[in-house]
Amino acid sequence: MVKIQLNGCSSFVQEADYKEYVEKALAAFDVLAGEKGAGSDFLGWKHLPSKTPESLIRDCEAVRDDWKAKGVDLVVVIGIGGSYLGARCAVEALSHTFSTQLSVRNDALQVVFAGNNLSEEYLAELMDFVAERNVATVVISKSGTTTEPAVAFRIVKAWIEEHYKDAAERIVAITDAEKGALKTLAKQEGYRTFVVPDNVGGRFSVLTPVGILPIVLAGLDIRAMLAGAKEMEVALADRNEANPAVQYAAMRNLLYSELNKKVEVLVTYNPKFQYLGEWWKQLFGESEGKDQKGIFPASVNFTTDLHSVGQFIQEGDRMLFETVVNIEKSNRSVVIGSDPQNLDQLNYLAGQPVEHCNAMAQLGTKLAHIDGGVPQIVLSIEKIDAFNLGCLFYFFEYACGVSAYLLGVNPFNQPGVEAYKKNMFALLSKPGYEEQSKAIRARLK
Ligand code: PA5
């Protein structure tokens, strides 16, 4: 369960203003619940936790077992944006930090990601790694035409075809049910396929095969994740002022619209959640940043970033507020020992778990940032595990829908993502872009 605490905002906002925004958030909630608002043909994500069939998970497990039987030990997961970030977030959050360096390995397949950039060096180094391993790949693209994953897939596919007789069995495509280049290729080559549902947009797709297959391949507990998401699906369906998605949407819009807080910084105190920040930024950035509106989503990892952008947050332009993902319990315990010489003067901490220091850093930072003019929302989960990550995924998706409707934008489109693509295709002289190529070259002269 995700719990919300708003006391870190109370010295900044008036109770009456907050109540007004809760009313607005409840009206936005009605739009989302009624499924009649802008983009309502993209609401399939709302029911994924309760409707995902066990057979889908078993099909994913069958791929995993088949690849393990072939001796596969590395899976390259290719995708970008919504076809990448949810899976990456889950793998980073739930895997042992040093899983690839540990001498005692579990028998999970190693999952690495590609197709999320156009760096030549990244791809070259990926292929150095691929050359040392027994490889399979999952290519994920809803449209089937996105350049970054298409480039990476072309290279990985060629390598697999060159090195394995059973190449087609080592490739799985996750794409549209009917259309797109990837669907056509998969049919032609006989790849196994999974479907990205029509009614789920990329950034809301982590609980479709887009996230489920990589999560299963990485040996993570997808059933627990779906159970966590389902608990939130039930909890957030309640229309009331205590609904944490309503409260979160209300407070962030109040801070944005009335206090000119244009930037929301998602704060975590565990490096495992670095990619939660990346996933969350896409979710809110693509959902809300349109029509010249929206809170700019940023993320930091404390205490690491207290030694960098912490200075800005404490004393820079007062344009931001924080949303802290609080983890109530650590999964591991490391106790600080006593040292007879005490040269580092840490004996006052002897006998304390390291997490106690982290918790006090978190509390001290909260007070300092509030004193410095930074309101703070806190979202708490019990611990980092698959269940609670499922809770967070669903909570943020639902809250994002409510918040974007409150802001007055369509949460489920992303028209702005096309602008750079058009220029890039024109500059690359893609067939069909001849006119744009001429125009852009003239502009660059
Ligand atoms: O949220 C979105 O729609 C985008 O970020 C897409 O997920 C991203 O562009 C990848 O698209 P596709 O899955 O069609 O390759």
pLDDT score recorded for residue 99: 87
Q: Give residue 270's pLDDT.
A: 98
pLDDT tens sequence across 172-216: 999 999 999 999 999 999 999 999 999 999 999 999 999 999 999
pTM: 0.97
Mean pLDDT of 124-148: 96
Report, as an integer, the average pLDDT of 419-442. Answer: 92
**204 CA to middle of ligand 1, Å?**
10
CATH, domain range 45-220: 3.40.50.10490
The question of whether 281 is a catalytic residue gets the answer: no
Instruction: State what percent of residues in the chain have pLDDT above 70.
Output: 99
Q: What is the mean pLDDT of residues 269-289?
A: 98
Backbone angles phi, psi at 77, to 5 degrees: -95, 120
Question: Which of 286, 288, 322, 355 is the catalytic position?
Answer: 286
Residues 405 and 288: their CA atoms lie apart, in Å, by 9
Return the structure tokens found at 155. 């290279």
Output the pLDDT for position 107: 74
State the distance from the centre of ligand 1 to the C-alpha of 80, rounded, in angstroms. Answer: 6
* Ligand 1 centroid from CA 365, angstroms: 36
Question: For ligand 1, what atom is nearest to the CA of residue 149?
Answer: 15
Give me the sign of the Cα torsion angle 158, 164, 169, 171.
negative
Tell me the per-residue pLDDT of 288-303, one tens digit each, with 9 for 90 and over: 999 999 999 999 999 9
Q: Which one, of 250, 380, 255, 404, lies nearest residue 321 by Cα?
A: 255
The four Cα atoms 130, 133, 139, 145 give a dihedral, to 10 degrees, of 20
Instruction: Assign 105 a pLDDT band (cuts: 50, 70, 90).
Output: low
Q: Please say if 20 is a catalytic residue.
A: no
Whether residue 421 has pLDDT greater than 70? yes
Alpha carbons 347 and 328: distance in angstroms, whole number: 25
Find the mean pLDDT for residues 132-148. 95
Q: What digits encode the pLDDT tens for the residues 337-367?
A: 999 999 999 999 999 999 999 999 999 999 9
Confidence class for position 103, pLDDT limits 50, 70, 90: confident
Question: Could you tell me the strand order of the sheet in which 376-381 lies?
Answer: 3-5, 376-381, 320-327, 263-268, 296-301
CB 288 less than 6 A from any atom of ligand 1:
no
Write the pLDDT tens digit of every residue in 31-64.
999 999 999 999 999 999 999 999 999 999 999 9
The alpha carbon of 277 and the centre of ligand 1 are apart by a number of angstroms equal to 18
- CB-based contacts of 100: which residues, under 8 Å, 6+ apart? 110
Ligand 1 pocket check for 81: Cβ under 6 Å: yes
In this prediction, residue 417 carries a pLDDT of 87
Same fold, 3-36+226-407 and 45-220: yes
Dihedral sign (CA 238, 243, 245, 250): positive
Rounded distance, CA 192 to CA 64, Å? 12
192-220 burial: b if 16+ Cβ within 10 Å, else e: bbbbbbeebbbbbbbbbbbbbbbbbbbbb
Closest Cα to residue 18, out of 30, 31, 4? 4
Q: What is the pLDDT of residue 202?
A: 96
Contact status, residue 361 vs residue 302, Cβ threshold 8 Å: yes
**How many angstroms separate the Cα of 295 from the Cα of each of 82, 260, 359?**
19, 10, 28
Instruction: Report the CATH architecture of 3-36+226-407.
Output: 3-Layer(aba) Sandwich (3.40)
Q: Look at ligand 1, atom 15, and give the residue with the nearest C-alpha.
A: 141
Give the helix, strand, coil percentages of the chain, each rounded to 5. Answer: 55, 15, 35
Answer yes or no: is pLDDT of 427 > 80: yes
* Sign for the pseudo-dihedral over CA of 233, 238, 241, 246: positive
Whether 286 is catalytic is: yes
Q: Where are the domains of the chain?
A: 3-36+226-407, 45-220
Mean pLDDT value across the chain: 96
Of 42, 78, 118, 143, the one to substitute when testing ligand 1's pocket (max ligand atoms within 8 A of C-beta) is 143
Long-range contacts of 429-435 (CB under 8 A, 24+ apart): none
Place of tokens 């072309």: 154
pLDDT (tens digit per residue) in 364-392: 999 999 999 999 999 999 999 999 999 99
